[in-house]
Amino acid sequence: MSIENSLKLKGNTVAQDVYDITKPKTLEANENTKYLILLAYASFILVSSFFFNSPQEIWLGIRNITVAPSILVSDYMVIGNLGAALFNAGLLMIISITIAKINKVNMNGTVIAAILTVAGFALFGKNVYNIWSILLGVYIYSLVQKENYSKFILVALFGTALGPMVSQVSFGLELNLISGVILGNTVGVIAGFILPPLANHLIKFHQGFNIYNIGFTAGMTGTLFMAVFRSFGFENPTTLIVAEGYNYALGIYLSLLFISMLLIGYLYNGQNFKGYKKILSHSGRLVDDFVISEGFGITFINMGLLGLVTTLYVIIIGGQLNGAIIGGIFTVVGFGAFGKHLSNVIPILLGVYLSTFLQIWDVNTTGPLLAALFGTTLAPIPGQFGWKYGVLAGFIHMAMVMNVGYLHGGMNLYNNGFSGGMVAALLVPIITAFKEDL
């Protein structure tokens, strides 16, 4: 080899070495890494509870939360305290992650959505007492069907939407404690047992345009049980317990959480935002798993952006950051891994916002805020048909969701999922009939 060629080869090698050093290293998001990241968030939420309340206050708050009827809307920041609500959320998130890990479930978008939804509703309705009988009911169903429990993990986790039914029967019907606990958990097991076959069937009702399919299923199940309760003379009280005055502290808290998601997503996406435009092209119609189709990094970026935008929406219109509202934000963020993105969420928010100018509700009160946040269950409608139809869906959803809670007596936490199923089932066939070139 000539000296000249040797120098050229050496130069190329040096240049390649320099290129390798300066090129951003893409972190690998394997299954263990995904689990660790979700567990880190759960641990942070749990540990951060002690920044707001003392251990004794949290313990007393958890006791109050555990024995509360938890009918929609019951803000655990009021029933317990802020620290106890966060501790409950972190604890239930860890339980959900552990159940998924034990059953060797891949940490894909659907599982992330389920875990963050459980965490969100652990701020206003789900607790360490009322989830277990529903999880057990789904497990018994898996045994009867001779299937692995892993096949039904999503139904089990999302199905804890009926947790208030367990709590209300246990503590809210003025039964003696032992009878109430036995009957409440029996009802929970039965509900959990019938959820999987119902969920599989009812998705056909809304054709996948309602992302909260289990919410619709739980709404139907809750309506069935509430009808039976009313036939025996039992009625649930109208409940609206919400905290106020935490916007400054919780605004900072949520901003840190969602900015950290952006940073983690940025690192695992090769230190860029490449691929986000592709996420925006998804309709979100079930089943649309961003972790599987686009990757973990860009999915986390999407989740962080959704968290920041929805938090900003609440603050700008003068709403209160409390347990119920943060539950809505967490759910939107969770489904940022499974169907939701800025392009199909904003039209729904806009539709609900505009509806308040003509309808009887104030835009910054709890009901309309929950309708806006959870109403993004209809994100597949603007995702597939365009933003104008998303605005229309949000407008109609606002009217519908404020009237369906009576049917299940507040025992289905996913009231917007129940309403969303009806709106999608009614609206999509009409859009399809009149819209050209679908």
Residue by residue, DSSP assigns 156-195 as HHHHGGGHHHHHIIIIIS---HHHHHHHHHHHHHHHHHHH
Dihedral sign (CA 337, 254, 83, 123)? negative
Least reliable range by pLDDT among 39-43, 73-77, 161-165, 358-362: 358-362
Among 184, 207, 231, residue at a domain's last position:
231
* Burial environment of residue 310 by CB neighbours within 10 A (0 to 12, 13 to 18, 19 or more): buried
Does residue 27 or residue 273 have the better pLDDT? 273
Q: Which residues are CB-contacts of 98 (< 8 A; sequence separation ≥ 6)?
A: none
Q: What is the mean pLDDT of the segment spanning 120-144?
A: 97
In a domain, 242, yes or no: no
Position 11 scores a pLDDT of 46
Among 231, 263, 283, residue at a domain's last position:
231
Q: Which residues are CB-contacts of 113 (< 8 A; sequence separation ≥ 6)?
A: 334, 335, 337, 338
Position 435 scores a pLDDT of 73
Q: Which residues are CB-contacts of 50 (< 8 A; sequence separation ≥ 6)?
A: 58, 83
213 and 269, same domain (yes or no): no
Contact 261, 303 (CB under 8 A): yes
In a domain, 6, yes or no: no
Position 20 scores a pLDDT of 45
CA distance 364 to 18: 55
Q: What is the mean pLDDT of the segment spanning 285-313?
A: 96
Q: In which band, very low, low, confident or very high, does the pLDDT at 200 lie, cut at 50, 70 and 90?
A: confident
- Name which of 223, 162, 205, 190 is nearest 420 in CA terms: 205
Q: What is the CA angle 254-95-27, rounded to 5?
A: 60
Q: What is the mean pLDDT of the segment spanning 37-66?
A: 97
Provide the mean pLDDT of the chain: 92
50 and 82, same domain (yes or no): yes
In a domain, 97, yes or no: yes
Kindly tell me if the per-residue pLDDT of 23 is higher than 70. no
Position 364 scores a pLDDT of 93
221 and 255, same domain (yes or no): no
Kindly tell me if the per-residue pLDDT of 22 is higher than 90. no
The number of residues making up the chain comes to 438
> How far are the Cα atoms of 114, 175, 359 from residue 152, in angstroms, in the given order?
12, 33, 40
Count of domains in the chain? 2
Position 28 scores a pLDDT of 75
177 and 64, same domain (yes or no): yes
In a domain, 237, yes or no: no
Q: Which residues are CB-contacts of 300 (< 8 A; sequence separation ≥ 6)?
A: 261, 262, 264, 265, 268, 269, 337
Q: Which domain holds residue 317?
A: 247-434
Position 253 scores a pLDDT of 97
Contact 35, 104 (CB under 8 A): no
54 and 82, same domain (yes or no): yes
227 and 251, same domain (yes or no): no
221 and 176, same domain (yes or no): yes
172 and 42, same domain (yes or no): yes
CA distance 91 to 52: 16
DSSP 376: G
> How far are the Cα atoms of 22, 115, 183, 352 from residue 402, in angstroms, in the given order?
55, 26, 30, 12
In a domain, 21, yes or no: no
CA distance 394 to 409: 23
183 and 310, same domain (yes or no): no
189 and 317, same domain (yes or no): no
In a domain, 2, yes or no: no
Q: In which band, very low, low, confident or very high, does the pLDDT at 436 lie, cut at 50, 70 and 90?
A: low
pLDDT in tens, 32-44: 999 999 999 999 9
In a domain, 3, yes or no: no
Among 177, 203, 231, residue at a domain's last position:
231
pTM of this prediction?
Answer: 0.92
428 and 334, same domain (yes or no): yes
Buried/exposed code over 240-271 (b: 16+ C-beta within 10 A; e: otherwise): ebbbeebbeebeebbeebbebbbebbbbbbbe
Contact 176, 187 (CB under 8 A): no
400 and 252, same domain (yes or no): yes
In a domain, 7, yes or no: no
